[in-house]
Amino acid sequence: MNNKYQVKLINKYQLATGTVAFEIEKPEAFIFAPGQTIDVSLLHSTDLEIKERKRIFAIASSPLEKNLLFITKMTHSLFKQKLDNLKINGTLEVAGPYGIFKIQENAQVPAVFIAGGVGIAPFRSMVINDKDRDFPHRITLFFSNKDSQKVPFHYTFSNISHAHFQYVPTISGQTTDWQGEVGRINRQMIQKYILNFTEPIYYLAGPKQMVESMKKMILGLGVSADHIKQSIFIGY
In angstroms, the CA 233 to CA 206 distance is: 5
pLDDT digit string, tens, across residues 174-202: 887 888 899 999 999 999 999 999 999 99
pLDDT in tens, the chain (236 residues): 558 999 999 999 999 999 999 999 999 989 999 999 999 999 977 676 766 788 999 999 999 999 999 999 988 888 999 999 999 999 999 999 999 999 999 999 999 999 999 999 999 999 999 999 999 999 999 999 999 988 999 999 999 999 999 999 999 988 878 888 999 999 999 999 999 999 999 999 999 999 999 999 999 999 999 999 999 887 55
**Edge-to-edge strands, sheet with 68-73:** 54-58, 37-42, 91-98, 3-16, 19-24, 68-73
pLDDT digit string, tens, across residues 10-48: 999 999 999 999 999 999 989 999 999 999 999 977 676
The CATH label, of 3.90.1420.10, 2.60.40.1120, 3.40.50.980, 2.40.30.10, for the domain at 3-98 is 2.40.30.10
For the chain, give the percent of residues with pLDDT over 90.
Answer: 83
pLDDT at residue 200, as a whole number? 97
Give bridge partners of residue 202 from the DSSP assignment: 112, 228
Start-end ranges of CATH 2.40.30.10 in the chain?
3-98
CATH architecture of 111-233: 3-Layer(aba) Sandwich (3.40)
With CA atoms as reference, report the closest residue to 30 among 82, 83, 98. Answer: 98
Give bridge partners of residue 41 from the DSSP assignment: 54, 93
